[in-house]
Structure 1
Amino acid sequence: MSQPDIHTVTFGRAAPGLSVKDLQVACAFYCEVLGFQKVFENGSPVGFMVLKKDAAEIHLSQVRDFARTTTNAFHMFVDDIATFYAVCEAKGVRIIKSLKDQDYGQRAFVFADPDGNRVDVGQRI
């Protein structure tokens, strides 16, 4: 019998899971500021949501004893980073690292959501 080979498995989309202190505040930020839409919620009271914009998904989970981190929660690619950055600035999003060309072939910046989750946004140069 042959051994299973991981190279024969095709992976589908991957969606980051974010822990948040207040699910409604996080949902409002990602939907109203960044243009995502809530496509699923679960629990009574609601403790989990799926947000979607184009091919991107974010899975939010409310965590009672949420603790901030200084590492990036996830990386996201966009097709017009200059406009995305301008929207973030105009809407008062907390920018952690300003937009600039990086030596790894991307134009990128980092912002923080209301819970301090850091999101690294990039566009290939």
Structure 2
Amino acid sequence: MLTDVNPKLPMRNKAITKDFYVNKLGFQEFGRADYDDYLMVQKDDIQIHFFIFKEVDPAENYGQIYIRTDDIESFYQLAKSQNISITKLEHKPWMQREFSIHDPDNNLLTVGQSML
């Protein structure tokens, strides 16, 4: 039985990635060990893992995840208040409200909430 999924995304610089997710998006570092080449962050019930990939070209990085929430407005306002690049919060034809964020390595985080 499957119980959870933790996406792994590339990062070029652990300190920059950690700062973005922890200080701008409100995640917390997760795990007991601090590995040079790996980072785990958590917010509420989700975790995102990152592995070092110094050669990743942000212009050619297509890492992406879809995050579901039950309070999109609060997370949107948090992201917006941090002066990070985000898309407009929109109602989509597939009955979701969504917005997207690109992190420092161009990983795409799309955040969505059901309108049903």
User: In the alignment, which residue of structure 2 is the partner of 1:7?
Assistant: none
Deviations 1:47-84 (A, max 9, x none): 00111111100001111201224646100011211121
Structure 2 spans left out of the alignment, 5+ residues: none
Amino acid corresponding to residue 60 of structure 1 in structure 2:
F
Answer yes or no: is 1:60 the counterpart of 2:36.
no
Structure 1 spans left out of the alignment, 5+ residues: 1-9
Answer yes or no: is 1:102 the counterpart of 2:102.
no
Q: CA RMSD in A?
A: 1.5
Output the CA distance in 1 between the equivalents of 2:17 and 2:84: 13
Q: 1:98 to 1:72 in 2, by over 3 A?
A: farther
Larger strand fraction of residues: 1
* Higher Cα radius of gyration: 1
Aligned length: 113
Q: Aligned residues: percent identity?
A: 26
Q: TM-score, normalised by structure 1?
A: 0.83
Q: TM-score, normalised by structure 2?
A: 0.89
Output the CA distance in 1 between the equivalents of 2:114 and 2:40: 26
Deviation at 1:87, TM superposition (A): 1.3
